Amino acid sequence: MILVVEHKVRYVRTLEYRNIPALVEIWVGAVKGASFDLHYVIKDPVTGQDCVNASTHLAFVDESTGRVRRLTPEQKEQLEPYRA
């Protein structure tokens, strides 16, 4: 099970409504013993300017005990292609 430990959102500028999808970039940041960070940027599809910067800190938790569980080498390897 993965638990959201912290989520931060910073609004940089207004994203005007247009009938076209916004651009979203997402990547994995720090990978630690029992947690990792996801980062996001939402961009205006017309100007390409950043409108929102966000990050989520996630931790693996053992469902039976409720305790934080370390990432296995395989899990860390699976995250590696998405690191920036």
For residue 7, give every residue at least 6 positions away whose Cβ sits within 8 Å of its Cβ, in sequence order, or none. Answer: 54, 55, 56, 57
| Span 34-84, pLDDT tens digits | 999 999 999 999 999 999 999 999 999 999 999 999 999 999 999 999 998
Helix (H) or strand (E) holding 78: helix 73-79
What's the pLDDT at 59? Answer: 96
CB 22 within 8 A of CB 42: yes
The domain segmentation of the chain, as residue ranges, is 2-82
37/4 Cα distance (integer angstroms): 10
Residue 83: closest CA among 37, 17, 22, 24: 37
Pairing label, strands 2-11, 23-31 = unpaired
pTM exceeding 0.85: yes
| Fold of the domain spanning 2-82 | Thiol Ester Dehydrase; Chain A (3.10.129)
